Amino acid sequence: MRWADLDLKRGELHVRQRADRYSNIGKPKSSSGERPVPLTPIVMNTLREWRLKCPHSPLDLVFPNGSGNVENHQNILNRGFFPTQIAADVTAPVVDDNGKPVKDDDGRPILGAKYTGLHALRHWFASWCINRKADGGLELPLKVVQERMGHSTIQLTTDRYGVTRSQPRSQCIGRRCG
């Protein structure tokens, strides 16, 4: 994400590029991937504060590594994503090659981060957009969710995140429903 892609006055992030796990920067997968995404006031305020501290990046990156380049994917996972999950108690037992829980010296299961990839955040965001307000979600129409996710069709959004009448939306967080 580049600073030029943020409009903090309007509260929008304009998705115009992506960096893959190999730090290669390129266009989104499809033309519908290029889109504005609304930002909440707390995110905008946090970004304004970060801009004052952010190291200079010749690529104009919002979150550069120490050299001003795209951060290594494994560093993001190991230094940020996994420790944050563990601190928030979003954990699952660590399992061995046979699928059995690994235990510590006292016989208790060792816990690790529940989600192994950043794509889980995308699924959380979609579920948050879809879920009922009573369940902590935004309860947005699927067409709006389609646009925010950058899906080329509403059918893709429905197939991936749609819900059935018999299944409350609150049960869809972090996994496929419908």
Residues in the chain: 178
Tokens 């208790």 belong to residue = 108
- For residue 167, give the H/E element and its range: none
Give the residue from 115, 120, 117, 122 showing the smallest Cα distance to 29.
Answer: 122
Q: pLDDT for 69-78, tens place per residue?
A: 999 999 999 9
Q: pLDDT for 113-139, tens place per residue?
A: 999 999 899 899 999 999 999 999 999
Give the residue from 151, 174, 162, 140 showing the smallest Cα distance to 33.
Answer: 151
User: What CA–CA distances, in Å, run from 56 to 18, 50, 63?
Assistant: 19, 12, 10
pTM for the predicted model, two decimal places: 0.71
Residue 167 has pLDDT above 50, yes or no: no
**Domain residue ranges of the chain, discontinuous segments joined by +:** 1-71, 72-116, 119-172
**Which residue type is seen at 172?**
C
Asked if 169 and 34 count as a contact pair (C-beta separation under 8 A), the reply is no
- Return the SS3 of 111: strand
